[in-house]
């Protein structure tokens, strides 16, 4: 995975800098996410990986599938990516772009997994506490997983806070076995 990230980073950074400088971060983010999702479809991957197609033809297929919704700068960006035979990196590029955008906006998406549905007040307090700790605007997405038994599991990027009963039991079992 590190190799894909290394290859995708210059493209994502260039796209981010262009979008930031032209005040179109949201538009680029949405369109890159859409193109990345479309490019992972099995039938489209066959078309995009066909060596008999030129880079222009590959970009034209992407544009056609996306209903001509993309702006000219994004088409130019896709042409550069296709010319360098990097279209398979589109999902990685979109992910890195989203990370650059979140860092720029000082926001982070946080997934909170709990054994039971959290009340709105608890979610709000958790969001405020995480906002202070991470020094970012926090966008909380809450899900449930009964196998946790109790407590919560919080994922914010590469930060994981395991306050679940299951996690504590696993730590206790590991300590007893060592």
The per-residue pLDDT string of the chain (178 residues; one tens digit each, 9 = 90 and over) reads 568 889 999 999 999 999 999 999 999 999 999 989 988 888 888 888 888 888 888 888 888 887 666 788 998 999 999 999 898 899 999 999 998 998 888 888 889 999 889 889 988 998 898 888 888 888 888 999 888 888 888 888 778 888 888 888 888 888 888 7
- Report in angstroms the alpha-carbon separations of 68 from 8, 30, 63, 127: 24, 14, 5, 38
pTM over 0.75: no
pLDDT score of 15: 94
Task: Give the Cα separation of 93 and 28 in Å (integer).
Answer: 12
pLDDT score of 8: 92
pLDDT score of 9: 94
Q: Residue 135: is it exposed, middle or buried by C-beta count within 10 angstroms (0-12/13-18/19+)? A: exposed
pLDDT score of 38: 87
pLDDT score of 3: 87
Domains annotated on the chain, with CATH? 2-103 (1.10.520.20), 107-177 (no CATH)
Q: Residue 87: is it exposed, middle or buried by C-beta count within 10 angstroms (0-12/13-18/19+)? A: buried
pLDDT score of 1: 52
Least Cα distance to 145 among 109, 116, 111, 123 occurs for 116
Question: Residue 107: enclosing H or E segment and its boundaries?
Answer: strand 107-114
């Amino acid at each position: 995975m590190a190799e894909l990230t290394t290859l995708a980073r210059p493209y994502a950074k260039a796209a981010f800098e262009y979008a930031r400088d032209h005040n179109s971060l949201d538009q680029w983010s949405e369109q890159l996410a859409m193109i990345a999702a479309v490019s992972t479809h099995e039938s489209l991957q066959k078309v995009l990986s066909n060596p008999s197609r030129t880079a222009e033809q590959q970009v034209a297929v992407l544009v056609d599938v996306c209903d001509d919704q993309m702006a000219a700068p994004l088409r130019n960006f896709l042409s550069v990516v296709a010319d360098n035979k990097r279209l398979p990196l589109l999902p990685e590029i979109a992910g890195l772009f989203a990370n650059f955008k979140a860092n720029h906006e000082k926001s982070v998406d946080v997934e909170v997994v709990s054994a039971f549905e959290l009340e709105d007040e608890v979610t709000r307090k958790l969001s405020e506490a995480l906002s202070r700790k991470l020094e970012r605007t926090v966008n909380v997405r809450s899900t449930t997983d009964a196998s946790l038994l109790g407590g919560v599991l919080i994922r914010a990027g590469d930060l994981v806070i395991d306050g679940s009963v299951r996690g504590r039991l696993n730590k206790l079992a590991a300590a007893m076995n060592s």
